[in-house]
Structure 1
């Protein structure tokens, strides 16, 4: 019987196999047919400590039997309060207010609405948003508007608003990016939104911390709100808890999701500085911040996030990340430079570009690579001809070897 399920980012007309996953543990997914897969991309960048982590799973079970859901408009509960306090304590200085949502896309939508709401009070003329070339911030309307225009959103152009774009800071051309941002900020936009250090879906493009620091400084000089989208880069992926730490940057608004619950259950948060919150503070109910969803700060999701925060506080997570990062670095260095170009790494994220005449997200080599890796017991999902890894922090040396041996073999078979 044909499944009625319509899967995301899946072209069902290709009739590619869709494995049925029945169980997961650590870095491994178990399939209905008895096979298993090493989850080399953390199930779309969300799983941090490993699948079905006992502490997170226990917190979910306990909370589900106590308080499953309550409206968050005008009500609160202990898990949300604990997570909010924990986030403020961990985040860069000045981010003192936490607004919960349920995905990275909605965290970005909230950030954009916060920025525009702030300027609506302070200076209504400031309405434009500055973005970086090749960026991706999600699939809701505002998030698509501030992302790269192309295959992801071409069909929805009539819904999207215009933005100002600065070039990606390619190695050796960083100053062009900074000059472009300086000119854009001089025109007094509302905000600049950026993925710190790494552009994810845009091809795992990486740039140095000093560029991030300079971009934040430019925004500060022109009083342009600096929005850091750490949906992917947060929770240790780049080697530090947040990527902004490496540039000593404290954004005006910070978006987090994915690993906030250890990857077990959907939750997101947008952290804002005091001035953003206070611009919306009034005795006039018409001036409140108008955003919510039915499941805002769901207690079960918040309990999972609280357990994740406890793991970070009580265990040497950064130590595990350092070991994993070194293992990735060692194996990345061993890949054939004829088959692969542009090897790059930041923390536990690494990527290479397969040498092929077929580039871009819709490259025909991508489905072939996915099938090849699936046959070798790996969940790897290349971005066109870009092969990347982003494994859970529990991934061991043997599993890393399997991952990179398969990548090396793919280079021999598919490079041209």
Structure 2
């Protein structure tokens, strides 16, 4: 908006790019003040699963707002949180027996890191180092940035970040290098390994095999290294299963969930932990409690939205919708992949991605802003990662909107990356 005092995230206001004002949304579409209908091809930054303003979730929010809006969660509790915790335990792997609430994906990662370090500290074992994967991204708070890739995202804040051990990304044909380096790093007794299972999001939608994920988990287990799965983006069906970890047949020691937890309606996050991690903090000594909270921990309205989302997963054919959407995208992606300007067309579940040929294939590629404007002018919310164009739509999207998305991507490719 012209003249707005708002400082937007990941926005260089000096470029003067237009910022449309959205008035309402429904299903897979956003509507602007000037009467445009915008197809939400990236689920409003990967959060919207069942579609905007899903009736069941909206009704749950409205009902809860008439009962209890907010309450301190330190030493107090409420029914929406109790229900949600029980339902999550029933839905998630049995080994994850404890639920800690927070309010964003970044925060859920901070919680996970503090749980892992607290586990070793309370056991009297000096294990502090965290292992990460090259190109990873886990959020924008200090701990989350520390375990993410170093570069333009966090260069200005480098003095605040703690040192980590970085494993190479398991690129095709180089998977064993990753496993060998993890094996070697584990001999030094690190505290934990944190990974984005199967696909690295902000790092460029980089996909790696489920077998590699399974072997990384096995290596960590052999060496007693805690395994943290950041499923903030991959959870709630994006990769074709409820959790990406399912495809590798693994269960992490700590699991981070957010984004689709409420169907994308309101902010909420959880960090699920094994009983061993909880018990390491359980004591009659107050000095060993888990020292973490935020003012809005387990907000009742957000918990009500999440309960409605879990009810949708229990009672509606969500996985069938996801499978159908994946198949419908597969055919369209195949057409795009045949274009000469396209590299590395790939898909996992409902996520598709390509790279458009460009001399500088990183986040600051000049192609990124041009593509963003190109898609915006065609009434599409697509936000390329440099020269990587990805699609991650709500599960309710119809064929007409998918056609618009992929036709525009094809046009961009044929025009030589605009």
TM-score of the two chains, using structure 2 as the length reference: 0.99
Q: SS of the residue aligned with 1:249? A: coil
How far apart, CA to CA, are the structure 1 residues paired with 2:92 and 2:339? 39
Deviation (angstroms), 1:93: 2.6
Aligned equivalent of 1:366: 368
Query: CA-to-partner distance for each residue in 1:229-285, whole Å, 9 max, x for gaps?
Result: 000000000000000000111100000000000000000000000000000000011
Structure 1 position 348, deviation (Å): 0.3
* CA distance, structure 1, for counterparts of residue 238 and residue 124 of structure 2: 37
Q: Identify the residue that residue 239 of structure 2 maps to in structure 1.
A: 238
How far off is 1:356 after superposition? 1.3
Question: Is 1:407 the equivalent of 2:409?
Answer: yes
Is residue 61 from structure 1 mapped to residue 62 from structure 2 by the alignment? Answer: yes
2:415 is paired with a residue whose SS is: helix
1:303 is aligned to 304
- Aligned residues between the structures: 416
- Structure-1 separation of matches of 2:211 and 2:417: 34
Match of residue 354 from structure 2: 352
How far, CA to CA, are the matches of 1:414 and 1:294 in structure 2?
49
Q: Which residue number corresponds to residue 251 of structure 1?
A: 252
- Hey, which bits of structure 1, 4+ residues long, moved more than 3 A? none
Q: Secondary structure at the match of 1:321?
A: helix
Unpaired segments ≥5 residues, structure 1: none
1:226 matched to which residue of 2? 227
Match of 1:93 in 2: 94
* Separation in structure 1 between the aligned mates of residue 339 and residue 377 of structure 2, nearest angstrom: 24
Q: TM-score, normalised by structure 1?
A: 0.99
Alpha-carbon distance in structure 1 between the residues aligned to 2:333 and 2:123 = 49
Does the aligned pair in 2 maintain the 1:49–1:393 contact within 8 Å?
yes
Other structure's SS at 1:29 match: strand
**Contact 1:92-1:245 at 8 Å conserved across structures:** no
Selected match of 2:380 from 375, 378, 381? 378
Post-superposition offset of 1:70: 0.5
Partner of 1:162: 163
* Separation of aligned partners in 2, 1:39 and 1:175: 38
Instruction: Give the CA RMSD over aligned residues.
Output: 0.8
Is the 1:339–1:355 contact (alpha carbons within 8 Å) kept by the matching residues of 2?
A: yes
Q: Please state how far the C-alpha of 1:413 moved relative to its aligned partner.
A: 1.5
Query: Distance in 1 between the 2:93 and 2:373 partners?
Result: 41
Matched, 1:328 2:309: no
Per-residue CA shift, 1:301-346, capped at 9, x if unaligned?
0000000000000000000000100011110000134111001100
Query: Aligned equivalents of 2:309 and 2:401: distance in 1?
Result: 24
State yes or no: 1:210 paired with 2:211.
yes
Equivalent of 2:400, from 365, 378, 398? Answer: 398
State whether residues 101 and 292 of structure 1, in contact with CA within 8 Å, keep that contact through their aligned partners in structure 2. Answer: yes
